[in-house]
Amino acid sequence: MSDILDLEASILREIDAAADEAALETVRVAALGKQGSLSALLKTLGSLPPEDRKSYGAAVNETRDRVTSALSTRKSVLKAAALEARLKRETVDITLSGRTDPLTAGRIHPVSQVIDEITAIFADMGFSVAEGPDIETDHYNFTSLNFPADHPAREMHDTFFFNPKEDGSRLLLRTHTSPVQVRTMEAQKPPIRIIAPGRTYRCDSDATHTPMFHQVEGLVIDRTSHFGHLKWILEEFLKAFFEVDEVKTRFRPSFFPFTEPSMEVDVGCKRSGGEIRIGEGDDWLEILGCGMVHPNVIRAVGLDPDEFQGFAWGMGIDRIAMLKYGMPDLRAFFDADVRWLNHYGFRPLDLPSLFGGLSS
């Protein structure tokens, strides 16, 4: 029996010396596998005298049980040690700020948001969106819109002109989106119902003016359109955009070369502590310009002003964004300050709709 006890002691020492689970598995196979040392002892039972087989077999099986128990205990110890080492190796530094995905961190610029809001409102009224080039000709920006040859807007101090061409003509950065109206009337037959949002450029810069700004204009051309239609469209737009139930409007005579008659539109508001609330109070705020399309403009695009008439309006997108969302300085729109954008920006995929709310 001494050989069994010696073998057991040797196996137990190897178990205690195993540094990891792989080494322990090697010891288990060497002891208990088909070709293992304890298995080999059981194979010798047939060569023993009958009276010795029972006691010898029992001794081998007891040793096998003690070795199996030792293996299980050592495996638990090694597994716990491996887990602890892994936890130390893969420790997460919770003092670091968490990473945010683009949809969480990104913000939509207020100008983009307001353009989407305007588009949603007028699309619900049956208007489509028209676009045109930022670089225009004198014809589309001025002449076709009934600007006289000596109009001040044609001067360098009001308009960004490019260097003259060989023939003396000059391209320019459009001063309004009205050229889009002319291009649309040339390309489409009435009835026409469009809005034209986009960038415009003028030589001006202060807290409420920038050299580049955003404007949206609307145009309706038909046989029976009249000023009553214009008034209803503008009032419905103002109610939807400022998300109020009622608005008061005031139309004052004005002058624009491309409309006749021309009107400035004021909206009822309340001024309190530097805040302007649309749809409340007894004060007034100028909001946009509008009028019936001048017969000369209709004639310039090849239509008969005795058969077709229409109306147009225009407003500054940046300005109505400031009014709605309480932004005090227009210049901050173009400073590219991430802090400002995080404060005033909108979450991606929160698309404005009349059903779900424009600014929800």
Q: Pairing between strand 249-256 and 259-272?
A: antiparallel
Tokens of 113: 């948001």
Displacement of CA 282 from its chain's centroid (Å) = 38
The alpha helices in 189-255, defined as continuous H runs, are 227-241
Q: What is the pLDDT of residue 46?
A: 65
Q: d(Cα 174, Cα 139) in Å, to the nearest integer?
A: 11
- Using the predicted structure, report yes or no on whether residue 115 has a pLDDT greater than 90: yes
Q: d(Cα 347, Cα 109) in Å, to the nearest integer?
A: 9
Q: How confident is the model at residue 347 (pLDDT cuts 50, 70, 90)?
A: confident
Higher pLDDT, 14 or 219: 219
Q: What is the pLDDT of residue 216?
A: 96
Q: What is the pLDDT of residue 207?
A: 60
Statement: 109-344 belongs to CATH 3.30.1360.200: no
Q: How confident is the model at residue 9 (pLDDT cuts 50, 70, 90)?
A: confident
| Amino acid making up residue 4 | I
Q: What is the mean pLDDT of the chain?
A: 86
Higher pLDDT, 254 or 167: 254
Q: Pairing between strand 249-256 and 212-222?
A: unpaired
Q: What is the pLDDT of residue 296?
A: 95
Please, are residues 141 and 180 in contact by the beta-carbon 8 Å criterion?
no
pLDDT tens string 63-94: 788 888 888 888 898 889 888 888 888 877 67
Q: What is the pLDDT of residue 168?
A: 80
- Using the predicted structure, report yes or no on whether residue 19 has a pLDDT greater than 60: yes
pLDDT tens string 44-62: 766 677 766 677 777 777 7
Q: What is the pLDDT of residue 257?
A: 92
Averaged pLDDT, 135-155: 85
Higher pLDDT, 201 or 99: 201
Q: What is the pLDDT of residue 154?
A: 65
pTM for the complete prediction? Answer: 0.68
Task: Count CB neighbours of 137 within 10 A.
Answer: 16
Q: Where are the domains of the chain?
A: 2-89, 109-344
Q: What is the pLDDT of residue 86?
A: 86
- Give the CA distances from residue 259 to residues 17, 21, 190, in Å, rounded to whole numbers and listed in that order: 98, 89, 18
Tokens of 208: 């409420």
Q: What is the pLDDT of residue 327?
A: 84
Collapsing DSSP states into helix, strand and coil, what is residue 312?
Answer: strand
Higher pLDDT, 246 or 357: 246
pLDDT tens string 249-301: 999 999 999 999 999 999 999 888 778 888 888 899 999 999 999 999 999 99
Q: What is the pLDDT of residue 206?
A: 63
Please, are residues 358 and 117 in contact by the beta-carbon 8 Å criterion?
yes
Q: What is the pLDDT of residue 255?
A: 92
Collapsing DSSP states into helix, strand and coil, what is residue 22?
Answer: helix
Averaged pLDDT, 220-242: 95
Higher pLDDT, 123 or 9: 123
Higher pLDDT, 333 or 238: 238
Q: What is the dihedral of CA 243, 244, 246, 251, to 10 degrees?
A: -60
Please, are residues 318 and 95 in contact by the beta-carbon 8 Å criterion?
no
